[in-house]
């Protein structure tokens, strides 16, 4: 019965494997190898079984390293079983992709669990009273059967032989050491193009989320430029469907439409009302398994648009998550006092992505059987960006717009990727970009359901993660009705934030200490000083193009799509 709680994630196939009281079960969303890729997947003699969620982008290259192995499917995930057979547990770092998997070796009843580098796919592990071990993409399958469950950390594997966890992903940036590599715009451009192109591995129609902000617009532009050269383009054609959601008259709708016209995509706009969003709150909390304020706010539009996208026959979308974290793109980064603190804050933000944006984007899309892929969080691309001397990422001190090094890398006058005013459009939070009245409507709705007396007793009602506002209290009440166990609460991140900063970064602006709203609107004033001529004379690189006067704008939204 528990498996059906994940049917929304994989409506195309149910697969179950049983051996000596151990079970592997899988709900499949078929994107690669539609005819033979049903799971579980096996090695040649079926002594090793695998269930996996995600995509292994370099599976064809990995197959070439296994000439003595016979593959029975064209599934990208089958390579996991054969790599284990060849290399033992030390193969996970060879995988380039997004994944959570459980591998079971019937020869000694050993199992191995691993999660991708950043935590793009969701994964939890739990333990029952009977010493059973449970692993699932969502904890709704285990919260009734496990005494304890917890997040499975990104970049980590669990070995039943060792009965413990260890990190398999240990990049240089993880130590937060300050990098010194000079900024080269062409290296950056080529790395992002490669990251986008590898994510065009699909046997089904796909789309792009297009808010009209920098991140999603660049992904869409690169896709349109290179799709015809890919296997997917040759099989499925070069028509690109783009999608955007917002309240009537929202910044995202206007900018998304303009970029779509420029790129020639088949564009789909979805208008929602505040009441549409309010009506979806309970379903969203059920699917994302969180009551964290910013996560719920931003998940609602993602959830609503995912339903519309799936109704168009689309199973996969490209999205722009992760750019703000690796480039220091949130508006509060303008206040970074020096390059060291900027880099360390970026490292902290990347490490926490699996609790926030990745969780939202994965679960809110999976609620409708839709897969989201994030080129900015490509393992190789993250290493390139996080290896650049962070002095180049400083914005406030250099009077530059945020993410200057990304914008500059794609400012090609001969073959423009985007219109200038889109390329240099200001960053804004996703929940604000879909419409400025959206957050106000959520607050008003919460105020009509949560009384002042309830807030006075909030610390006694909810001693763990006490809700500081009526909106947070409302989300917590809904969550407790669905997931009443303590382990569920312990999976939720809970720390003070304004404009998405970490607690350490709050020290950059003491005036925010009493601000209770994490919305990016708290940082609007920060950007004003950057909307002047962009400074570029302190960076010298070949073929550098300087942005034109007035290129930066004061309104708009880059929403992580």
| 209 labeled binding residue | yes
The answer to whether residues 512 and 524 touch, using CB atoms and an 8 Å cutoff, is no
Q: How far is CA 253 from CA 212, 223, 305, 356, 557, in A?
A: 8, 20, 13, 24, 10
Backbone angles phi, psi at 241, to 5 degrees: -100, 130
- Within 8 A by CB and 6+ apart from 445, the residues are 274, 278, 474
Alpha-carbon distance 376 to 196, whole Å? 8
Both tokens assigned to 130: 């009977």
Does 550 belong to an annotated binding site? no
- In degrees, rounded to 5, the angle at the alpha carbon of residue 407 between the alpha carbons of residues 406 and 413 is 130
Q: How far apart are CA 102 and CA 51, in angstroms?
A: 6
Three-state secondary structure call for residue 356: coil
Structure tokens at 501: 């900063």
**Phi, psi at 36, each rounded to 5°:** -125, 5
Distance CA(470)–CA(468), nearest Å, equals 7
Separation of CA 216 from chain center: 13
Query: Which contacts qualify for 539-547: CB closer than 8 Å, 24 or more apart?
Result: 539/183, 539/392, 541/182, 541/183, 541/184, 541/185, 542/186, 543/185, 543/186, 544/185, 544/408, 545/408, 545/411, 545/412, 545/413, 546/408, 547/407, 547/408, 547/411, 547/420, 547/423, 547/424
Q: Where are the alpha helices (DSSP H) in 463-558?
A: 470-482, 486-490, 524-527
Question: Under a CB-based contact definition with an 8 Å cutoff, are residues 444 and 229 in contact?
Answer: no
Any bridge partners for residue 317, and if so which? 207, 372
Sort strands 22-28 and 41-42 into parallel, antiparallel or unpaired.
Answer: unpaired
**Run of H or E including 156:** strand 156-159
User: Do residues 500 and 519 touch, judged by C-beta distance below 8 A?
Assistant: no
| CA angle in degrees (0–180, nearest 5) for 138-142-148 | 105
**Residue 72 in marked binding region:** no
Among 209, 321, 290, CA closest to 256: 209
Tokens of 181: 């590599």
Burial class of 523 by CB neighbour count within 10 A (0 to 12, 13 to 18, 19+): buried
Pairing status of strand 316-318 against strand 206-209: parallel
Cα 524 to Cα 510: distance, rounded to the nearest angstrom:
16
Query: Is 120 annotated to bind ligand?
Result: no
76 is in an annotated binding site: yes
What residue numbers does the annotated binding site cover? 76, 209, 245, 319-320
What residue numbers does the annotated binding site for ATP cover? 209, 245, 319-320
What residue numbers does the annotated binding site for L-glutamine cover? 76
């Amino acid at each position: 019965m528990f498996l059906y709680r994940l049917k929304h994630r994989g409506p195309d196939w149910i697969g179950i494997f049983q051996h000596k009281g151990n079970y592997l079960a899988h709900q499949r969303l078929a994107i690669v190898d539609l005819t033979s890729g049903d799971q579980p997947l096996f090695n040649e003699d079926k002594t090793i079984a695998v269930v996996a969620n995600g995509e292994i982008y370099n599976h064809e290259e990995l197959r070439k390293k296994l000439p003595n192995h016979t593959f029975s499917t064209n599934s990208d995930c089958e390579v996991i079983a054969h790599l284990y057979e060849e290399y033992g547990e030390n193969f996970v770092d060879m995988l380039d992709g997004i994944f959570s998997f459980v591998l079971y070796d019937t020869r000694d009843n050993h199992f191995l669990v691993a999660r991708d580098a950043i935590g793009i796919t969701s994964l939890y592990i739990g333990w029952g009273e009977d010493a059973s071990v449970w692993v699932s993409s969502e904890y709704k399958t285990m919260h009734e059967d496990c005494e304890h469950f917890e997040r499975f950390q990104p970049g980590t594997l669990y070995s039943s032989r060792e009965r413990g966890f260890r990190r398999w992903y240990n990049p240089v940036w993880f130590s937060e050491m300050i990098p010194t590599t000079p900024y080269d715009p062409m290296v950056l451009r080529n790395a992002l193009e490669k990251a986008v192109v590898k994510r065009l591995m699909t046997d089904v129609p796909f789309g792009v989320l297009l808010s009209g902000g920098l991140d999603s617009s660049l992904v869409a532009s690169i896709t349109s430029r290179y799709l015809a050269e890919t296997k997917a383009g040759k099989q499925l054609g070069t028509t690109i469907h783009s999608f955007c959601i917002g309240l009537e008259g929202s910044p995202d709708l206007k900018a998304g439409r303009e970029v779509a016209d420029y790129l020639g995509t088949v564009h789909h706009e979805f208008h929602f009302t505040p009441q549409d969003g309010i009506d979806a709150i309970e379903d969203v909390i059920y699917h994302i398994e969180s009551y964290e304020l910013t996560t719920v706010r931003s998940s609602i539009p993602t959830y609503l648009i995912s339903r519309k996208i799936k109704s168009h026959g689309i199973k996969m979308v490209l999205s722009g998550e992760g750019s703000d974290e690796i480039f220091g793109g949130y508006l509060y980064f303008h206040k970074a006092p020096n390059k060291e603190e900027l880099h360390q804050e970026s490292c902290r933000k990347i490490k926490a992505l699996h609790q926030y944006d990745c969780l939202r984007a994965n679960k809110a899309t999976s609620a409708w059987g839709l897969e989201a892929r994030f080129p900015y969080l490509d393992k190789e691309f993250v290493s390139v960006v996080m290896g650049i001397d962070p002095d180049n990422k400083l914005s406030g001190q250099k009077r530059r717009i945020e993410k200057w090094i990304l914008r500059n890398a794609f400012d090609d006058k001969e073959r423009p990727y985007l219109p200038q005013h889109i390329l240099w459009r200001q960053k804004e939070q996703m929940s604000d970009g879909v419409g400025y009245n959206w957050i106000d409507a959520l607050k008003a709705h919460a105020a009509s359901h949560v009384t002042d007396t309830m807030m006075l007793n909030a610390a006694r009602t909810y001693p763990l993660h006490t809700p500081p506002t009526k909106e947070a209290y409302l989300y917590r009440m809904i969550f407790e009705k669905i997931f009443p166990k303590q382990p569920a609460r312990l999976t939720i991140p809970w720390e003070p934030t304004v404009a998405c900063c970490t607690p350490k970064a709050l020290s950059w602006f003491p005036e925010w200490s009493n601000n209770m709203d994490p919305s990016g609107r708290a940082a609007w004033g920060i950007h004003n000083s950057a909307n002047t001529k962009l400074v570029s004379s302190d960076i010298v690189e070949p073929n550098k193009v300087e942005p034109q006067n007035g290129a930066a704008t004061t309104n708009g939204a880059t929403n992580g799509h």
